Amino acid sequence: MGDTIVIGQDLTQLDSSDGGFSIIFQKDGNLVLYDNQSQAPLWASNTENVGASCKFYSEQSGDVRLGVFGPANNYRWIVQFSGVAQAGGSYCKMQVDGNFVIYDGGNNPLWATNTNATSPINDAVRQQVKRQHGAHAKKPQHAEHEVKPSHGEREEKPQHAEHKPSHRAKE
């Protein structure tokens, strides 16, 4: 699986190099980031029942995009950055601190889930998840510093996980 994907790859699952965090494109169509120690969801695209694939790709215009797409290949959730692909080398990484980040070819962060394990925001999200789903929320049985976007556009703002993501069967 690994911790990184590059332009042209689908995102199915990335695990931080220490195994502490995973971002998974689930069978129900939802892209979810999990804390593997507590098995709690920390962030989700909220695309359950509408997502068919998750792709990291570039357009001829130079735009770089990470998106969840429906069965008709229409986007359901997307993060887009204009003119980044011309420089090449963009990648997505699941970091050991719990943050999933999109970087340009110069290793500059473009976007992040802001789920850094040491951030106060993350602590609050963990408490909210515990209150909503109990202390034993579980991730599917199968199968990584806080940054702010430096430039680019987001067509739809992702949300922290507000519901229990569905479980997927052990493969």
pLDDT tens digits, residue range 51-96? 999 999 988 888 888 999 999 888 899 998 887 766 678 999 999 9
In this prediction, residue 83 carries a pLDDT of: 76
| Residue-averaged pLDDT of the chain | 76
pLDDT band at 144 (very low <50, low <70, confident <90, very high): very low
More confident residue, 10 or 127: 10
138 touches 167 (CB < 8 A): yes
Return d(Cα 163, Cα 88) in angstroms, integer. 36
CA angle 36, 132, 158 (to 5 degrees): 70
pLDDT tens track for 154-163: 334 344 443 3
Kindly list the domain boundaries of the chain, sorted by start residue. 4-154
Quote the pLDDT of residue 169: 34
Quote the CA–CA distance of 121 and 71 in Å, as a whole number.
34
Whole-structure pTM value? 0.70
Superfamily of the domain at 4-154: Bulb-type lectin domain (2.90.10.10)
pLDDT in tens, 19-46: 999 999 999 999 999 999 999 999 999 9
Largest CA-CA distance found in the chain, in angstroms, rounded: 46
